[in-house]
A and B are shown apart, each in its own frame.
Chain A
Amino acid sequence: MADIAVGTPLAAPLPRQRTLLVGTVFGTAATLMYFAALLAVYLRERADALSGGGEWIPSGANIQLAPPTVAAWTMLMSVVTMQWAVYSIARDDRTHAIMATALTTLFGLSVVVTTSFQYTEMGLVADESIAAVLIYAISGSHLVMIAIGLVFLLLMAFRALAGQYSSRQTDGFVAASIYWYAVVFVYVVIWTAIFVLK
């Protein structure tokens, strides 16, 4: 009340062109299209192999469902922490925002570790079957997608530490979350199409 009485000017709203948001949506849409193409080729080849009475995954390969299921649940948990980060920054709770971002990063890293572990256990050789080529192309591309997401998250966290993001400017966190949700969505599709259906 006192502030108003002495005429302290209210801060002008920041220009909200949402440039980063629109750019991120563009990039995310392109990424989804990329995986749609990969999965279309995968499912087409799989259907052909199975309709001809042959096997799709080579008999010598050992593709367990447990590691990718653990990874899928980890990714789904990261959705909660990601949204927690967005919620916190929108309420000027920078500490929680950074903590949630760190947790999301940790979940992402654990999926990278799980996938790497599975690579060592699968026994798939790239030049022995088309299935192996496509599984490595798709899961490897997803690892790259996670890496880009982690860099994006860390960049936003450092910017938040520097005070760039607050309740008045949340675009960076919202943009990172949009990309991260796409990372999770793609993994769930991969989990279903490759590991559950086999």
Chain B
Amino acid sequence: MTLTESRPEAEAVAAGDDVRPATQSSAPQWTPPTGLARLLSTGDHLTIGQMYVVFSLVLSGLALTLGMLIGIEQADIDGGFGVFSNANEVFQVFGLYRTTLILCGLVPLFLGLATALIPRQLDASSVAFPRAAAAAFYTWLVGAVTHIVATFSYGGLGSVQAGAAREQSVELSVLSLGLIGVGLLVGSGVVFTTLVTQRPRGMDLLQMPAFSWSMLVATGVWLFSLPVLLANLVISWVDMRGANALGFGGGGAPFEQVAWAFDAPQVFAWTIPLLGITAEVFTAAHRSSPKMFEPIAFIVGAFGFFSFGAWAQSFFDSPDPNAVDAHIVTNEVLFTAFALAIALMVAAYGGWLAFNAYSAGQRPQITPQFALVVVSGALLTAAVVAGVLRVAEPALGVLREADDDIWRGFFDAMDDLEASSLVNGMMNLAVLGGLLAAVAGLFHWAPRLLGRPLNAPLGFLSVLPLAGGAILVGATDVLGGFFDQPRRPFETAGIGQIDALGFVEALNVIGLIGYIAVLGGLALVALNVARSLTLPASTEAHQGEGV
């Protein structure tokens, strides 16, 4: 007999049964928190990833605004200080631009995408340590906000003028940068552990999607880089504990200690996930899946290996030029070898993309994300070429000795590029390329990340300023380097060395327009995200969207 109706309560009582329904209890029902309480207490990987993306986009915008301010200052190089009142303020903003753009913008943006998407790509329920992921996010956020506030309170990573910075604010800037590093390191650990342990049975590492693989390589390289950054900061901070800082915490030394993180080859290490995003978006646009995955896995791994740059810091060099191992770290041969190896990997990566496009046998579907990854790939290639030029001087010296007369102008232009704005251009090209790739990932995975696709026409509208602006920002700095524009705008002594000052100033105005364009593009992306969030959530992935 099948029981189709519940027994009347009175009848049950008469039978002496316990009639309390299971759902009724004297204990208060737990209701999930909402609003701010939900965000503060969440362990949901998707929510944490979304918060990373939102805040890192906002902080990227702030970084680009700082870059714009430096651009305004450089539009009239020989006219004294305009936006800023002294060299130390330029130095503070110069340092803050780098720390904010890379450690508060690009890296957390990649980590946010990874935290939100990698469990989906691996068919896992969540990341490996959800509470650690939340703790990492809030550690990073508190560190980022504190770092920015401390720098604007006459802090920053040291001072190039005695008495121009407040000592306690400098200490706070150093400590908060350490906090950022700890947050990013823990976040990297969560992503790395998720990739190693949360794969479904039968999926080996080489069967992971390209983005997951690139994040495995990236977090592996960051694992070895971020602790070195922390060690540099701790040494600076301990030096500041005394009445007089001796060598690591005084003057501009705190910035010098961490400058390797914003220079070649380390700057390429922050962009490793660009390769994974590009591979996925590119092949999806060709309506195919990546073919020959093993070569791309090797290329991404080798790119990561050669981009590890914690060794390339001047504090590992001897101040005594006569010492046998005086330049063990800034050894030109080592730098040249690494730059060439990175260039080779990028060329091989381009070849792999071309092979996949050819294998697909059809024209790509032009989407905003496809346009963005094409431009970001071009920016990375340009950055790598700039990186090779930066270290080409010793090799060219051999040619110069053979015949100096024929290529005199060329040799003169190539002189001392490592101290010129070409290095800034290389960093901007690489980092903005990474930023564009991350935005492409945002478009590509929006249905997974936001629950809704982003608007394509508005997306195309944002591609133009993003791509054009990034090219202008990077290319003008690179070109300025050939005219001996100094690498560090706060070092006014180098202004007299600039060839064709008027032309360089014109380049800087164009670069300034580039900053404004990138900012405009980011604003359009933010508008697109806000617009999509007002639409009802979609349960279907849009065409071409990867998982």
Interface check B410, CB cutoff 8 A? no
Contact with A along B215-247 (1 / 0, CB 8 A): 000000001101110111011001101111111
> How far, in angstroms, from A133 to B360 measured CA to CA in the complex?
60
Residues of A in contact with B, size category: 35 or more
Taking CB as reference atom, which chain A residue is nearest B257?
A41
Contact mask A121-165 → B, CB, 8 Å, 1/0? 000011111100110110011000000000000000000000000
- Which of A30-38, A88-96, A181-189 lies on the face that meets chain B? A30-38
Assembly CA distance A51 to B321 (angstroms): 12
Say yes or no for A23: interface residue by CB 8 A criterion.
yes
**Interface flag for B192 (CB, 8 Å):** yes
Contact of A48 among B197, B238, B243, B319 (CB under 8 A): B319
Q: Which of A4-12, A14-22, A61-69 contacts B (4 or more CB under 8 A)?
A: A14-22
Find out whether the CB atom of A38 lies under 8 angstroms from the CB atom of B189.
no
Whether B197 lies near A17 (C-beta < 8 A) is yes
12 CB contacts below 8 A, A to B, read: A19-B193, A34-B230, A41-B231, A41-B315, A44-B318, A48-B323, A126-B242, A127-B242, A127-B244, A133-B248, A134-B235, A140-B238
Determine the distance from Cα of A128 to Cα of B232 in the docked complex, in whole angstroms.
19
Q: Given contacts A38-B235, A127-B241, A128-B242, list 4 more A-B pairs with CB under 8 A.
A: A19-B198, A26-B193, A34-B227, A130-B247
Task: Out of A17, A35, A129, name the residue touching B246 (CB < 8 Å).
Answer: A129
Q: Is the CB of B316 within 8 A of A40?
A: yes
B185 at interface (Cβ–Cβ under 8 A)?
yes
Number of B residues whose C-beta is below 8 Å from A? 39
Interchain CB contact under 8 A, A141 and B234: yes
Is B529 in contact with chain A by the CB < 8 A criterion?
no
With both chains docked as a complex, state the minimum distance between the C-beta of B124 and any C-beta of chain A, in angstroms: 10
Q: Which residues 47-67 of A have a CB within 8 angstroms of B?
A: 47-48, 51-52
- Pick the contact of B129: A19, A35, A47, A141 (CB < 8 A): A19
Interface of B toward A, CB cutoff 8 Å? 128-129, 132, 185, 189-190, 192-193, 196-198, 223-224, 226-228, 230-232, 234-235, 238-239, 241-248, 310, 315-320, 323
The residues of A that contact B319 with a CB separation of less than 8 Å are 48
Q: How far is the CA of A140 from the CA of B231 in the complex (A)?
A: 12
Contacts of B235 in A (CB 8 A): 38, 41, 133-134, 137
Q: Tell whether, in the assembled complex, residue A33 and residue B228 are in contact, meaning their CB atoms are under 8 Å apart.
A: yes
Collect the chain A residues with CB atoms within 8 Å of residue B248's CB.
130, 133
Query: CB within 8 Å of B: which of A106-126?
Result: 125-126
> B185, A51: Cβ atoms under 8 Å?
no
Contacts A23-B129, A127-B244 given; does A33 touch B234 at CB 8 Å: no
Query: Which 6 pairs, one residue from A and one from B, show the smallest C-beta to C-beta distance?
Result: A127-B242, A37-B231, A34-B227, A126-B242, A33-B227, A37-B228
CB distance from B191 to the nearest CB of A (A): 10
Roughly how many angstroms separate A29 CA and B235 CA in the complex, as a whole number?
Answer: 20
Docked-complex contact A38 and B242, CB < 8 angstroms: no
Residue in A closest to B229 when the chains form the complex, CB atoms: A37
Contact present for B238 and A133 (CB under 8 Å)? yes
Bound together, the chains give a CA A174 to CA B224 distance in angstroms of: 23
Given the complex, which residues of B lie within 8 Å of A38, measured CB to CB? 231, 234-235
What is the distance, in angstroms, from B324's C-beta to the closest C-beta of chain A? Answer: 9
- Are B238 and A37 in contact (CB-based, < 8 A)? no
CA distance A22 to B188 in the complex (A): 13
